[in-house]
């Protein structure tokens, strides 16, 4: 089948579809195949005139990059998930897809939520609320199975708008075809440190001690306390260089980027699917329990403490689904999953669902006990009290919904936030009966070590994490 487009046919098809519109202000979505190219390396080209950039990287199987806003909605407050689903439904009602394209390249709305529905009133970085958004991007580049498609979303009001959008898409297609994959990222780049803060250690020790006291007293079954380390770089880092490296180091993960502008972004490599919906098949990753340094996973599989922590997560997810009328299946015992140098306990939970709004499921499942605790309401209150910072988008849902209501959301862990020369790394540990302060400090120190190694940070400055 010859997929090579002809400009005149593309324009005629777009004009015809627009003329058949059922709403006055529609969103035209035009797509064309391009030469096989990597959405990660081509992201600077499609987003060169835009501040917003997004990456969803499951390469070599699947990758999406996006740039610019066509339509967006700021999200906060207790109704943020309902508002986001309403926004998604309304956008797809107005969207006119003018050209036939593979299902994998469908238009997507991108979402980033905060962990809590409101940012702490005493948090200085209130402007970080930029990341709490739903975005229909201006540009979308999608690659799967050796095929790559470019898509432009644009608001059109008259035939001249249709022609202008089609010409812009065609011009960008030609740019990509002339220089596919030419932007090479330096996988050996060393991010030099000017200074770093170690104040997380004493604060985190105190929080862990109080958390374990609550667990042992029976007030909580589980509590997941997070902390962060602040680093100051000699020059701003390019998150795409880091994400290209994570492809090699974190193969069992989804690498993600949400970039407000060239100076500010958050990114990570999440092994944990909050939900994945594909043609009514729901898949969820229950991930809890981390092997100690030097453990190949055998001790982890035999650890009553870690197995208890893991089963809390699995049982909670299954119960939440049952409340939605969804009966899920899963194996009785977890398996090991390796992500870089970290080994975790993992259980795949699956179910068949009918006509369920993706964000209704996200709302029901976020946050899981893997990143919060049990009972949930009491755990969230204690996280607010014991953590000295606002989580903002750390451990929060990030993902997308396409026009067919297929979707995927990940839990934003293995996470870094950068603004200018300041980099913040985030990590956490789950407390259950049997947890110790020293043991949890060692787990978090290991997670920070893995994150820093991926950045090629100067290890001389980090000789002792405890």
Asked if 222 is an active-site residue, the reply is yes
Residue pair 311/222 in contact by the 8 Å Cβ criterion: no
The closest alpha carbon to 254, from 414, 81, 438, 87, belongs to: 414
Cα dist from 217 to 206, 211, 212, 220, 430, whole Å: 17, 10, 8, 8, 16
Q: If 0-12 CB within 10 Å is exposed, 13-18 middle and 19+ buried, where does residue 49 land?
A: exposed
Q: 271 - beta bridge partners?
A: none
Q: 431 - beta bridge partners?
A: 223
Helix/strand/coil (H/E/C) assignment for every residue in 344-355: EEEEEEEEECCC
Residue pair 168/48 in contact by the 8 Å Cβ criterion: no
Q: Which is the catalytic residue, given 17, 144, 222, 424?
A: 222
Q: Which is the catalytic residue, given 17, 138, 264, 272?
A: 272
Q: State the chain's maximal CA–CA distance in angstroms.
A: 73
DSSP conformation class of 221: S
Residues in the chain: 466
Count Cα atoms within 13 angstroms, Cβ side, for 141.
30
Active site residues: 222, 272
């Amino acid at each position: 089948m010859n997929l090579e487009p002809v400009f005149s046919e593309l324009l005629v098809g777009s004009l015809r579809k627009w003329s058949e519109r059922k709403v006055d202000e529609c969103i035209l979505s035009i797509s064309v195949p391009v030469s096989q190219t990597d959405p990660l390396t081509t992201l600077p080209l499609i987003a060169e005139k835009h501040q917003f950039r997004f990456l969803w990287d499951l390469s070599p199987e699947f990758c999406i990059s996006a740039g610019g806003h066509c339509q967006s909605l700021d999200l906060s407050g207790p109704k943020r998930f309902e508002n986001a689903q309403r926004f998604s439904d309304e956008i797809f009602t107005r969207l006119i897809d003018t050209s036939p394209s593979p299902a994998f390249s469908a238009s997507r709305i991108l979402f980033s939520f905060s962990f809590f529905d409101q940012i702490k009133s005493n948090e200085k970085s209130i402007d970080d609320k930029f990341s709490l958004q739903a975005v229909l991007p201006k540009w979308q580049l999608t690659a799967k199975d050796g095929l790559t498609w470019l898509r432009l979303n644009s608001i059109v009001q008259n035939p001249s708008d249709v022609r202008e959008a089609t010409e812009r898409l065609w011009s960008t297609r030609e740019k990509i075809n002339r220089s596919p994959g030419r932007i090479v990222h330096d996988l050996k780049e060393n991010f030099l440190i000017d200074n770093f803060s170690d104040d997380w250690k004493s604060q985190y020790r105190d929080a862990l001690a109080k958390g374990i006291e609550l667990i042992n007293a029976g007030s909580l079954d589980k509590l997941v306390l997070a902390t962060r380390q602040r680093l100051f770089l000699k020059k701003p880092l390019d998150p795409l260089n880091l994400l290209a490296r994570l492809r090699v180091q974190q193969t069992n993960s989804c690498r993600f980027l949400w970039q407000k502008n060239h100076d500010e972004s958050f990114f990570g490599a999440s092994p944990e699917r909050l939900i994945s919906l594909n043609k009514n098949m729901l898949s969820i990753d229950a991930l809890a329990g981390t092997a100690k340094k030097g453990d190949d996973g055998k001790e982890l599989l035999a650890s009553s403490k870690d197995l208890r922590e893991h089963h809390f997560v699995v049982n909670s997810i299954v119960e939440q689904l049952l409340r939605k009328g969804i009966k899920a299946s899963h194996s009785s015992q977890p398996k090991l999953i390796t992500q870089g140098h970290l080994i975790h306990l993992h259980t795949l939970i699956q179910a068949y669902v009918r006509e369920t709004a993706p964000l209704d499921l996200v709302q029901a499942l976020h946050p899981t006990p893997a990143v919060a605790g049990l009972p949930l309401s009491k755990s969230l209150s204690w996280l607010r009290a014991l953590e000295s910072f606002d989580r903002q988008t750390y451990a929060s849902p990030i993902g997308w919904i396409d026009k067919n209501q297929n979707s995927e959301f990940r839990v934003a862990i293995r996470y870094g936030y950068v603004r200018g020369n300041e980099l913040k790394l985030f990590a956490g540990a789950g407390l259950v009966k049997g947890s110790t302060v020293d043991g949890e400090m060692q787990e978090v120190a290991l997670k920070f070590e893995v994150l820093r190694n991926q950045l090629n940070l100067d290890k001389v400055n980090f000789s002792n994490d405890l």
